[in-house]
Structure 1
């Protein structure tokens, strides 16, 4: 489960062998969200708009690499 990005108290993580559509987890001490890699859609949870914006930008810029990691 690599941590892909750390910013402003948030961690963006990818869990190997996870279920469902390819996704990343946006986690902080106060909230959590699951974001689909292919669409950027928030599947579940919630986080502040600024954190979601940063996570979406990272996912969009690294989509192919994230999907490759997911499929390993």
Structure 2
């Protein structure tokens, strides 16, 4: 699972051929969550509130890049790095 961004101790990953809905994986310490790209909500897991706010703010700012990565990963197997927050 490629690391696509990292900021404030938070790591953001995306799989090449993952299930719908479009999402990414976030890790902070021992915490993990799946975040829906289009709705900016936690699908599964848990991240502390302070870090979750940072993740969701980043997700909103980078929504277009995240969706481009999602589509590219599914079609071409390519995932690009995305600038941090």
TM range, smaller chain: 0.7 to 0.9
For the residue of structure 1 that corresponds to 2:19, the secondary structure is: coil
RMSD after superposition = 1.3
Show the counterpart of 1:17: 17
Which runs of 4 or more aligned residues in structure 1 lie more than 6 Å from their structure 2 counterparts after TM superposition? none
**TM-score of the superposed pair, with normalisation by structure 2:** 0.75
- In the alignment, the residues of structure 2 paired with residue 8 and residue 25 of structure 1 have an alpha-carbon distance, to the nearest angstrom, of 15
Show the counterpart of 2:37: 37
Residue 67 of structure 1, CA deviation: 0.5
Q: Gaps spanning 5+ residues in structure 2: where?
A: 73-85
| Count of matched residue positions in the alignment of Structure 1 and Structure 2 | 72
Larger Rg: 2
**TM-score of the superposed pair, with normalisation by structure 1:** 0.87
Q: Gaps spanning 5+ residues in structure 1: where?
A: none
Structure possessing the higher relative contact order (Cα contacts under 8 Å, 6 or more residues apart): 2
